[in-house]
Chain A
Amino acid sequence: DAKTTQPNSMESNEEEPVHLPCNHSTISGTDYIHWYRQLPSQGPEYVIHGLTSNVNNRMASLAIAEDRKSSTLILHRATLRDAAVYYCILRDRFYNQGGKLIFGQGTELSVKP
């Protein structure tokens, strides 16, 4: 599985946008970029995923660089509930290993009121 690099921690103020970066310089053409987050004392939850184009959903936006070697998860207005560890994960679209996720260390996001 290709590797991702994320900052260990980031801080944000409530109701401000947050940009969480992820570097994946060894990404292959068939890798999807997935983001999950883990709130305190809970299991991870899906946030968003994409392949080449930018993606939006009700939780966040995913901006993917043109060369796909980096991506940014955007939370448009951070709330206290968004304080969590955010994981950027690459999953090979065709790799026949059943779809497991390999988690890295992630970015711990803290949100200040």
Chain B
Amino acid sequence: DSGVTQTPKHLITATGQRVTLRCSPRSGDLSVYWYQQSLDQGLQFLIQYYNGEERAKGNILERFSAQQFPDLHSELNLSSLELGDSALYFCASSVVALNTGELFFGEGSRLTVL
């Protein structure tokens, strides 16, 4: 158990819909990262927040947005869903936004868009 909690574990929805994925980081971790893993793209970095502020941005689509709340949990919002958005979405956390610290990953949220 990494200590990172992601909900929901599974989600099935239709094209055009909007969903919200939630992540609770490990206690004390200030930095939250979101990743997307699909069969053809591997693990893709989407976005990172540190103590409520956006810190780094990766290949995140404009239809996707995220935020980190004062209690440090984070939400990833996916809108106007397309079939290609079906993937595993992982959240990770670390103590600080440094490049030597270990990242702890959750078990992921599996999104299926029909």
Residues of A within 8 A of B (CB): 32, 36, 38, 42-46, 49, 87, 91-95, 97-106
Contacts and interface: CB of A to CB of B under 8 A. Distances in A.
Interface of B: 2, 4, 31, 33, 35, 42-45, 48, 50, 55-56, 58, 90, 92, 94, 96-108
Nearest to B49: A98
Contacts of A104: 42
18 contacts: A43-B90, A43-B108, A44-B43, A44-B105, A45-B105, A46-B102, A93-B99, A97-B55, A98-B50, A99-B98, A100-B33, A100-B48, A101-B103, A102-B45, A103-B44, A103-B45, A104-B42, A106-B42
Contacts, number: 70
A98 B31 contact: yes
A99 B101 contact: yes
A103 B56 contact: no
Contact of B97 (A32, A42, A98, A102): A98
A91 B42 CA distance: 18
A7 B108 CA distance: 26
Given A97-B56, A100-B48, A105-B42, A44 B100 contact: no
Top 3 A-B pairs, shortest CB-CB distance: A43-B105, A98-B55, A103-B43
A101 B45 CA distance: 7
- Chain A CB within 10 Å, residue with most, of B102, B107, B108: B102
A95 to B, nearest CB: 6
Nearest to A94: B99
Contacts of B102: 46, 49
Nearest to A51: B100
Contact of B90 (A44, A87, A91, A95): A44
A38 B88 CA distance: 13
Contacts of A87: 43
B56 A98 contact: yes
